[in-house]
Amino acid sequence: MTPVIGVTATLKQDVDAVAQRPLGRFVRADLDYVEGVAEAGGMPVVLPPLGDSRAVEALLDGLDGLLLSGGSDLDPSYYGEKPVPELGDTVPERDRFEMRLLGYALRRGMPVLGICRGLQVLNVALGGTLYQDLPSQMDHPVLLGHRQETPKWEPTHEVKVDGGSQVAEIMASDELKVNSYHHQAVKDLAYGLVSVAHAPDGVVEAVEWGDLSQRWLVGVQWHAEAMRDVGAEHRNLFEAHVCAAERHALCRAAA
């Protein structure tokens, strides 16, 4: 059985024009996520941000797993805060869609992998909060530059993974070199999640559900999809997610 993995996309505004008329918005999904799922043995399906709750549930009916991709900042109203001046662009349609989508997925026990923004959405949906902007809000004497300007497949800092964690087992390593393209991060960790990897400045780099045998939820702050050719540990994340989705599909079929 090939598990079907939903990969969230975002909306982009096309600023070009045809016959003096704007082309409007279009759905965009990074191919690296799609290829990561396919290479791991899953069937990727790109999920456009839909507003209707019945349509969202219908999407989930055909899925065995969910991958929350990276992208824009999450509106801080979802964790009870007002925007700070340093907040980046938000996409309200995407925020509403992903929070609703994730809520339904969690109720169904669906395996979820969150990458960068996806980790942040996962944390907030379960009751946690975020640093809206690390440089202006996180108090650390030597804060790393988490927005690298080098190519996305190049590592920019190290990450220490808790040796006894499921993430360490999945990645077969407790020390990683990762890329970094974010200015938001986990602040208060949601109940049920465990922070299992950190950057040298203390920024949370990976989370997992307390017991992955009961619920498969994993989030990483770096862009693992862009580093699949750098090391097997990054590919392992996709493979573990696809395997969890396959088990979920088999359990559904047997029910």
Per-residue pLDDT tens over the stretch 75-90:
999 999 999 999 999 9
- What is the DSSP code (8-state) at residue 150? S
pTM value? 0.93
Q: What is the CATH number of domain 4-254?
A: 3.40.50.880
Region 17-33: what's the mean pLDDT?
68
Q: What is the pLDDT of residue 243?
A: 97
- Catalytic positions, please? 116, 223, 225
Per-residue pLDDT tens over the stretch 157-203:
999 999 999 999 999 999 999 999 999 999 999 999 999 999 999 99
Distances in Å between the Cα of 12 and the Cα atoms of 23, 24, 136, 149, 235 are 11, 8, 27, 22, 28
Structure tokens at 177: 């070199």
Per-residue pLDDT tens over the stretch 99-153:
999 999 999 999 999 999 999 999 999 999 999 999 989 877 656 778 888 899 9
